[in-house]
Amino acid sequence: MSRSGWAIWIQTIIEDGGYAVDGPYVSVQEVLDHLDGDQPELACAILDVRLRDGEVFPAAERLHDAGVPLIFHSGHADERALQSRYPGAAVCGKPCSPTLLRRTLSMAVAGPDEADRAAS
- Whether 117 has a pLDDT exceeding 50, the answer reads no
Domain membership flag for residue 22: no
pLDDT in tens, 62-95: 999 999 999 999 888 889 999 999 999 999 988 8
Give the ranges where the chain is alpha helix by DSSP (H): 3-16, 28-38, 57-65, 79-85, 98-110, 112-119
Q: State residue 40's pLDDT score.
A: 67
Domain membership flag for residue 117: no
Per the model's pLDDT, the better-predicted residue between 7 and 52 turns out to be 52
Number of domains in the chain: 1
CATH of the domain at 77: 3.40.50.2300
HSE of 88, CA atoms in CB hemisphere, 13 A: 20
CA distance 55 to 51: 6
pLDDT band, residue 113 (cuts 50/70/90): low
pLDDT in tens, 6-48: 788 889 988 988 888 988 899 999 999 999 986 668 899 999 9
Q: State residue 9's pLDDT score.
A: 83
- CB count, 10 Å around CB of 113? 8
Structural domain including 68 reads 3-17+35-109
